Structure formats: structure tokens, C-alpha cells
Amino acid sequence: MKESIYTFPAFSGPSRVLKFDAGKCVGCNTCVDVCPIDVMIPNPEKGKEPIVVFAEECWFCGSCVNDCPQEAITLCNPAKQNISAVWVDKETGKEYRVGMNDPLPPNTRPSAGRQQK
């Protein structure tokens, strides 16, 4: 007996985790094979990129990106993980970056909710 399986791809909105370059992807499904939690399934159309079905389950490990022989996959980090590595001192206007040699001096002011003694 042959059973039919129906599934729907994850929406490409906030839950988008992978972006495939259709010009590079040859549908080899290497990414499907290496994904440790089976986020995607092979596309029934030969030569097309896989279908991401369980985007919310992605661990963002990058194994699919690293193992893609065509370099056709980009990992889309969630908005909560896209942090800015640059900030500006309001008084001087000087820009500071993560890892720079002369970082901003530590904040010695008490927090807004605490009174000084």
C-alpha cells in the first residue's frame, strides 16, 4: 500500500531560517542529510532546493551551510540574535565596537532605581 504524505513549507516571514540561492542550488540534498534535526525535506521536483518544513526547530548550527558543495545556503539568524556590535557615546559622539583596544570606561553611576547612601 502506498501512502501519500502532505506537508506545507514554513512561512518565509519571521520564521525563515535558511535562504537558498536558486542559481547555485542543484538539489543534491546534502543539507537535508547533514541536518541533525531534520528541519527540511527533499523537494519533489528534481534539481530544486529543499523545502524547510520545521523552521522553528532549527538550532542554527550551520551544518547545512558548511557542507553545501555549491555554497548555496545562507543561515538567517533570528532577530533576537542580531545584535549591534557598535554603539556611540552620547556625550562625545565617539563610536565603540566590540573588541576594540580602548573600550568605553565602566559605568560608575548607580542604577536608576537605587539611591546613593
Domains of the chain: 18-78 (3.30.70.20)
C-alpha cell of residue 17: 531560517
pLDDT in tens, 54-78: 888 888 899 999 999 999 999 887 7
Torsion of CA 99, 104, 106, 108, to 10 degrees: -160
**pLDDT higher at 56 or 14:** 56
